Chain A
């Protein structure tokens, strides 16, 4: 291990770096003895078993579920924007935002819209979970933090679309309790489909606009942001197209900050099913139309690295041995695309893809 040349470009190895190399070699020697009495990495179990205490109909196809500990104990604390991961009896896992009162430490509340085509998780909750059912949950975790400065200069604009009202509801209540200037624009398919209207009516009606699409049309981001006072912080949760349109319009708006739910895996657009073959394990997997290759590969190869799941970080870049790739990332160069792909977003142009995994 020869040290690099010195800073003045002379060709002999830098003396101080030679010394540094020796120091690090000593460290490695010390490390090699550290296996003695090293504690083992213990599996960590973070599951909580909670009892469904109450189920309420909140809108035409939305219900809320109140969850408590069987022994009435305090639950882990949370702040607005947090969600739970619910492990359903069928083995499905779903994320639901907490929409209750963070100060009430003995219960959690989630609200769920019944989706006809949502993979069955919401149907299962609606049809087979009732008072007395036991649910396994993990969390809370927060992917949509509400953390404005305590003394807001310009106020908040809350944008909620449909069931996206769930994380926003505790934020709005918090802002109201803080005496901050706030506005809520709440959109949804129709008035009857929008949950929590009654609960919202307890707040200042002058600050709330209810805008169902069937009367006002689908709201464009720019139109929603028009109402943001200069310097405001915007909190947005709703269907993916709504968030995308708000993000696009944000830089040109008067608002100063934008917080949105940070979905890790956006829905697949125009996906066709295809086959992916893992060269090293010899397995062939089928990637369904609405699922990413990463999702499928992850089940088979648990250690596969990834991060953004949106095609911009490059962590999931994988060598392609054969097949025509439909590159959908925004990180790889043409040269890198010649023999690699980001499996989180990219798919096949048709036909099987063989990857070096």
Chain B
């Protein structure tokens, strides 16, 4: 069957109902370098497991506090679906950390710092009325910015055949793509929630302005930390270098920098809306085929 050029690749799906999926991952046979022969690529993606368990639990905390302020039934249902999805995401990435711990790879020093950032520095305060609401909305603006980035990365994961070609571990790829697909699925929720409760352009941009530099910094630190902690690397091979990143992204094993920069810039358009980019149809098609989602107890 021939398609016209520029015909859409994925089907349109509007007004998707969001619900969490139960999943089942078995890490028993996960190799340390699950992209074979690519420790740098492996660890750059592994940083997700360090950031997400705490980060997504924090999303859930903040979103749960926002529930009573929502004045729109459809949005409330989407927020509830989001909360469940992020809970399962956090738990699934935590599974990888637990597996490492059992193997003697200790990530506690790094994870402790991330916990501190989310639950102390960005945590709840003893605030009342107006100030409490403002701190809540400020954090919603940060979550909306992070969710823009996670949708971008999720979309990349769904379209990364180079990882399959490199022989990456199929269970880990399924984790990344199941998670990535749900990120694409619920990409508008945080943005819509922020818009519902405030929505001012400058405040939205303020959220992104603090988010991307911190995320980049944590990522670099995370790669350096994981390479140093990796028991299978020795001597100079423990060092992370920028040129490794550029080499890997040129081979499509990591998202290219220019795509990320352009993506972050798109968020600054006044008329930006998450549903204007990426494909819900592609996400749900992947989810229907995810082994982890199909293997979970019925």
| Residues of chain A within 8 A of B284, CB atoms compared | 145, 147, 259
Contact B125 A150 (CB under 8 A): no
Interface contact B68-A7, CB-CB below 8 Å: no
Contact between A251 and B294 (Cβ–Cβ < 8 Å)? yes
A78 at the interface (CB under 8 A from B): yes
A34 in complex: contacting residue of B13, B112, B203, B296, CB < 8 Å: B203
Tell me if B17 and A143 are in contact (CB < 8 A): yes
Instruction: Evaluate contact between A32 and B131: CB separation under 8 angstroms.
Output: yes
Number of interface residues of A (CB under 8 A): 72
A1 contacts partner chain B, Cβ-Cβ < 8 Å: yes
A38-76 CB contacts (< 8 Å) to partner B: 38-39, 41-44, 46
Q: Judging by beta carbons under 8 Å apart, are B138 and A247 in contact?
A: no
Stretch at the interface among A124-132, A192-200, A202-210, A301-309: A301-309
Docked complex: B1-46 residues within 8 A CB-CB of A: 1, 3, 7-17, 19-20, 22
Give the nearest-CB partner of B108 in chain A: A9
B134 touches A32 (CB 8 A): yes
Verify A43–B67 contact, CB threshold 8 A. no
B152 touches A (CB below 8 Å): no
A141 to B137 CA separation, bound complex (whole angstroms): 27
Q: Is the CB of A21 within 8 A of B121?
A: yes
Indicate whether A244 sits within 8 Å of B298 (C-beta atoms), given known contacts A28-B135, A256-B289, A258-B288.
yes
Chain A residue at smallest Cβ distance from B88: A313
Q: Tell me which residues across on chain B come within 8 A of A251, comparing CB atoms.
A: 291, 294-295
CA distance A92 to B122 in the complex (A): 42
Q: Which A1-47 residues have C-beta < 8 A from chain B?
A: 1, 3-9, 14, 17, 20-21, 23-24, 27-28, 30-35, 38-39, 41-44, 46
Q: How many residues of B contact A (CB 8 A)?
A: 76
Partner of B112, one of A5, A141, A248, A250: A5
Q: Does the CB pair B196–A142 fall under 8 Å?
A: no
Known A34-B203, A44-B74; contact A314-B11, beta-carbon cutoff 8 A: no
Contact of A41 among B67, B71, B120, B225 (CB under 8 A): B71
The one of A3, A303, A308 that contacts B19, using a Cβ cutoff of 8 Å: A308
Given contacts A256-B289, A305-B83, A307-B80, contact A330 B297 (CB under 8 A): yes
Segment 100-147 of B: residues with Cβ below 8 Å from A: 109-110, 112-113, 115-117, 120-122, 125, 130-131, 133-135, 137-138
The minimal Cβ–Cβ distance linking B95 to chain A, given in whole angstroms, is 14
Point out the residue from A7, A32, A77 that lies within 8 Å of B109, measured CB to CB: A7
Name the CB-closest residue of A to B131: A32
Q: Contacting B116 at CB < 8 Å: which of A17, A23, A28, A31?
A: A17
Residue among A46, A142, A151 making CB contact with B1, cutoff 8 Å: A151
Q: Which residues of A contact B206 (CB under 8 A)?
A: 27, 30
Give the contacts of A244-261 with B (CB-CB under 8 A): 244, 247-248, 250-251, 256-259
Chain B, interface SS category: helix
Please indicate the chain B residues that have their CB under 8 angstroms from the CB of A6 in the complex: 109
A94 at the interface (CB under 8 A from B): no
* Residue from B13, B85, B200 within 8 A of A145 (CB atoms): B13
Q: Is the CB of A35 within 8 A of B7?
A: no
A148 CB-CB contact with B under 8 Å: yes
Asked if B47 is an interface residue, CB under 8 A from chain A, the answer is no
Contact with B along A221-241 (1 / 0, CB 8 A): 000000000000100000000
A140 at the interface (CB under 8 A from B): yes
Contact string, B221-238, partner A, CB cutoff 8 A, digits 1/0? Answer: 100010000000000000
Q: Is the CB of A150 within 8 A of B7?
A: yes
Contact present for B10 and A1 (CB under 8 Å): no
Asked if A147 and B13 make an inter-chain contact with CB atoms under 8 angstroms apart, the answer reads yes
Chain A, Cβ-Cβ closest to B68 = A303
Q: Given A4-B116, A79-B13, A307-B20 in contact, is the A41-B285 Cβ separation under 8 Å?
A: no
* A186 close to B (CB within 8 Å): no
Verify if A215 is at the interface (C-beta below 8 Å from B): no
Which of chain B's residues have a CB closer than 8 A to the CB of A123?
Answer: none
Which residue of B is nearest A247, CB measured? B298
Kindly list the 10 A-B residue pairs having the minimum CB-CB distance in the complex, ordered from nearest: A307-B84, A44-B72, A31-B138, A257-B289, A147-B281, A143-B17, A257-B288, A313-B84, A303-B68, A4-B116
Residues of A within 8 A of B (CB): 1, 3-9, 14, 17, 20-21, 23-24, 27-28, 30-35, 38-39, 41-44, 46, 77-79, 82, 138-143, 145-151, 178-179, 233, 244, 247-248, 250-251, 256-259, 262, 264, 302-303, 305-308, 310, 312-315, 330
Give 10 A-B contacts (CB < 8 Å), ordered by A residue.
A4-B116, A24-B121, A30-B206, A35-B131, A79-B14, A143-B16, A149-B10, A150-B7, A305-B80, A312-B22
